[in-house]
Structure 1
Amino acid sequence: MTSDDLPRSPTGRVPRWVVEEAAGRQPGSEPSTPWHGYASVEPPAPRRRSLTTRLAVVVAVALMAWWGATTVLPGLLREADAPFLDGIVAGRVPEPTPEVVALADEMFLTDRGRDLLYMAQPELLGAEEFAGRCGRGDSGTAGSGGAVGCYHTSAGGLETGGRIVVYTPADPRLRGFVVETAAHELLHAAWTELTSDERAAAATTLAAVVAGIDPADDLHAQLAGSVADRPQNRPTEMFAYVGTQVWAPGGLDPALEELYGRYVADREALVGVHTAFQGQIDAMTAEVTSAQQALSQRQYDQALGVAQLEADTANLAQYRGTIEQEEARLAGLPAAERARSLLSWTWRDGTALPEAPAAELLADARALLARDEAELAARGAALQTGAAEVAAEEERVAAVRADLEALFAQLNPG
């Protein structure tokens, strides 16, 4: 049949299997590959639909057109085990949980993107539940130490049970991380919907985009970690990583943006989720680094102040000892000789005590001694207060650092 005669879904789109059968190919004959460290399982051999099944599809599409104005599908369609509506099984998109609906909102999805997400029945799992769910062969998003999400697929794509699994840390501050991971996995599912020609053209464009990204950008390491030793996964990984992390004013290549636009209504905003999350992590890291540097300076200043106080206290003790010795010497002199005794002195801070009767000079020295003892006492009290403040700041910085480390640890479910 001509392209104009191909059966279409109520949305106007032609299911991929219909196009393939019209072209004389078996549906799903091009093996799809799972993705992300995000993770990929080897697909089973494609299974051609029986004539009965294909007739059931035609009947189902006809019934859908007849009942299109109703809000509830007849039981026959709800229970039918026949793929239609662009790969949707059982006649309608599964009812999503409120959590998944909220996630779709945060991913800025189109209606088509929502349908694709809901059909993949995302599992949002904590670390314990997530363990072992994204294996070596799954397409997905790679964290620092392993997979944080994956899209399990097979030769028939979503028609035979594509599923999204996303690791969901408990800390609400990591929500952007969850949204980005889920969007990454959704784009893996979207990749399976593209035609061979669309994928080939997109792969060429994506390769050019990735080549133009700063070599120091984390995207390169993430991409390499997700692809690992499966180069056949590189195109879909580029599609997912670029789609969620790379934006330029006005968008990238128009043809590439058209593909993304089928599933994401506002890709700039979606990339903004990634940018905001990275900015949040960078800000927290900068805060800890700055606090640690400021604390180190305070610790140094405190130690220096204590050392200087100890040195000044020892030096003043020598001057006190000299005064006491002169006072004892002067007291031992006969009165006449004591009256004739003269002294001059330069105090520890450089203050000159000109030659004067010994008793007068020693009295002046005593005044300077009392002044310096009061100053050292005040410095000592300030250093004690400073020591308490430094100790409190040490606890605060340690807590902030531990919080950041715990946050980073949550990014890796392993």
Structure 2
Amino acid sequence: MGSTVGKRIAQGVAVTLALAVAAGGLIAYSYRGDIQDHFLATSFEPSDRIEQLRDEIQLNASGDRVFLASQPTIGGRADFNRWCAGVDHTEEGHVLGCFAERRIRLFEVTDERLTGVVETTAAHELLHATWVRLSQDERAELSRQLIAEYEKTAAADAAFKQRMSVYETLSSSAFANELHSVFGTEVRDVSPALEEHYARWFTDRSAIVSWYEGYHGVFTELKAEAERLSIELENLRADVEARSADYDAAVQQFNADAAEFKQRNERYEFSGNKALFDSIRGELLERQAELDAIRQGIQADTDRFNELRAELVELNDVSLELNDVLDSTLTEPTTPVEEA
């Protein structure tokens, strides 16, 4: 009797243990991605620059785990092009980061005028890393929300629609993936559902948007100033040309009238009529002074035109320089310059 009861108790314990092991296995399977990320993150040793980025992009525990599990690295053109060799560089814009082979790769930009570009790119690539970790159902639902948000935003913001046109050849799922990263890093106001989703990874997403607005504003201001100068230049050019044409006609008429006055005087037409001579001569001198003032005004505006044109050229040079800074495909010199 005792042995039978004992056997039944043992069987009961065995069944309980089996259920516990099965439940534990199910939990482990469900969280296998998080577990894998945990081990990858804890075994990764980030560089000082990556540590700095971790602080700057305002990650919570989940975002930090995915970021480190993606083993982020940052480097110059040679390293970056080797890391991201498989990334399509044919689209418009600059490739400043990639998520390849489940790793985040970043192009280092040190120009202080473009502070924020690396931070924004790091957050952008992190969101690509989180996208692949979502279930198929999660991605389907999130894609629906993102497309709806895109249609609303694009209808109200032509610049945003143009910005996203570089992805127009992508499949719908790949386009949603890009929207996921763009909305999360570049758009301040998104739907409450999307804001809640991004809170899974960031403690303060608005900080990321501020990084983006900071460096993007540099290009926006350059473009706006260039457009303002171009309009002013065109208006000034048209005005100077019109006034110059009127001035040339007035000078020709003045020269003709002055020549006629001289001929009349040489024919002694004003003999005995000094008052008429003085009147015509005074009128000609007054016209001459007026013409000289007009000439000086035209010359001043011509000088102003040349100054504005120089400013526009300088702005264009700055824009080209900044674009070169962001161009990760430029070849770096490999042969040192010999000293004399």
* Structure 2 length-normalised TM: 0.75
Question: Judging changes above 3 Å, is the alpha-carbon distance between structure 1 residues 123 and 208 closer, same or farther for their aligned structure 2 residues?
Answer: same
Q: What CA distance in whole angstroms lies between the structure 2 residues aligned with 1:120 and 1:230?
A: 24
CA displacement at 1:165 relative to structure 2? 1.1
Question: Judging changes above 3 Å, is the alpha-carbon distance between structure 1 residues 264 and 377 closer, same or farther for their aligned structure 2 residues?
Answer: same
Q: What CA distance in whole angstroms lies between the structure 2 residues aligned with 1:297 and 1:243?
A: 42
Q: Answer 1 or 2: higher relative contact order, Cα 8 Å, separation at least 6.
A: 2
- Of 302, 309, 316, 2:247 maps to 309
Partner of 1:178: 118
Within the alignment, does 1:199 sit opposite 2:139 as a pair? yes
Question: Judging changes above 3 Å, is the alpha-carbon distance between structure 1 residues 294 and 359 closer, same or farther for their aligned structure 2 residues?
Answer: same
Q: What CA distance in whole angstroms lies between the structure 1 residues aligned with 2:165 and 2:251?
A: 63
- Does the CA contact (< 8 Å) of 1:142 and 1:222 recur in 2? no
Give the aligned residue type for 1:375: E
Q: How does 1:24-39 map to 2 (within 5 A)?
A: none
Question: Judging changes above 3 Å, is the alpha-carbon distance between structure 1 residues 195 and 205 closer, same or farther for their aligned structure 2 residues?
Answer: same
Q: What CA distance in whole angstroms lies between the structure 2 residues aligned with 1:142 and 1:149?
A: 15
- Of 24, 46, 63, 1:113 maps to 63
Partner of 1:51: none
Q: Residue 96 of structure 2 aligns to a residue in which SS?
A: strand
Within the alignment, does 1:133 sit opposite 2:83 as a pair? yes
| 1:359-393 Cα deviation digits (max 9, x unpaired) | 32011111122222223223333433333332222
- Does the CA contact (< 8 Å) of 2:94 and 2:326 recur in 1? no
Question: Judging changes above 3 Å, is the alpha-carbon distance between structure 1 residues 329 and 413 closer, same or farther for their aligned structure 2 residues?
Answer: same
Partner of 2:290: 375
- Does the CA contact (< 8 Å) of 2:44 and 2:68 recur in 1? yes
In the alignment, structure 1 segments of 5+ residues that lack a partner are 8-13, 22-26, 29-83, 154-161, 340-357
Q: What CA distance in whole angstroms lies between the structure 2 residues aligned with 1:175 and 1:302?
A: 42
What is the CA RMSD across the aligned residues, in angstroms?
3.6
Size of the aligned set, in residue pairs, is 310
Within the alignment, does 1:88 sit opposite 2:38 as a pair? yes
- Does the CA contact (< 8 Å) of 1:144 and 1:412 recur in 2? no
- Does the CA contact (< 8 Å) of 1:313 and 1:376 recur in 2? yes
CA displacement at 1:125 relative to structure 2? 3.2
Question: Judging changes above 3 Å, is the alpha-carbon distance between structure 1 residues 150 and 388 closer, same or farther for their aligned structure 2 residues?
Answer: same
Choose between structure 1 and 2: higher helix proportion.
2
Larger radius of gyration: 1
- Of 304, 326, 340, 1:389 maps to 304
Partner of 2:154: 214
Partner of 1:363: 278
- Of 143, 150, 157, 2:98 maps to 150
Choose between structure 1 and 2: higher strand proportion.
1
CA displacement at 1:93 relative to structure 2? 5.1
Q: What CA distance in whole angstroms lies between the structure 1 residues aligned with 2:109 and 2:239?
A: 40
Give the aligned residue type for 1:94: F
Give the aligned residue type for 2:112: P
CA displacement at 1:106 relative to structure 2? 2.9
Partner of 1:264: 202
Question: Judging changes above 3 Å, is the alpha-carbon distance between structure 1 residues 6 and 212 closer, same or farther for their aligned structure 2 residues?
Answer: farther
In the alignment, structure 2 segments of 5+ residues that lack a partner are 1-18, 330-340
Q: How does 1:237-386 map to 2 (within 5 A)?
A: 237-248=178-189, 251-253=191-193, 256-330=194-268, 338-339=271-272, 358-386=273-301
Q: Residue 166 of structure 1 aligns to a residue in which SS?
A: strand
Q: What CA distance in whole angstroms lies between the structure 2 residues aligned with 1:102 and 1:320?
A: 79
CA displacement at 1:194 relative to structure 2? 3.2
CA displacement at 1:410 relative to structure 2? 4.2
Partner of 1:19: 29
Q: What CA distance in whole angstroms lies between the structure 2 residues aligned with 1:299 and 1:4?
A: 83
Q: How does 1:149-168 map to 2 (within 5 A)?
A: 149-153=97-101, 162-168=102-108
- Does the CA contact (< 8 Å) of 2:115 and 2:211 recur in 1? no
Question: Judging changes above 3 Å, is the alpha-carbon distance between structure 1 residues 318 and 132 closer, same or farther for their aligned structure 2 residues?
Answer: same
- Does the CA contact (< 8 Å) of 2:74 and 2:106 recur in 1? yes
Q: What CA distance in whole angstroms lies between the structure 2 residues aligned with 1:312 and 1:301?
A: 16
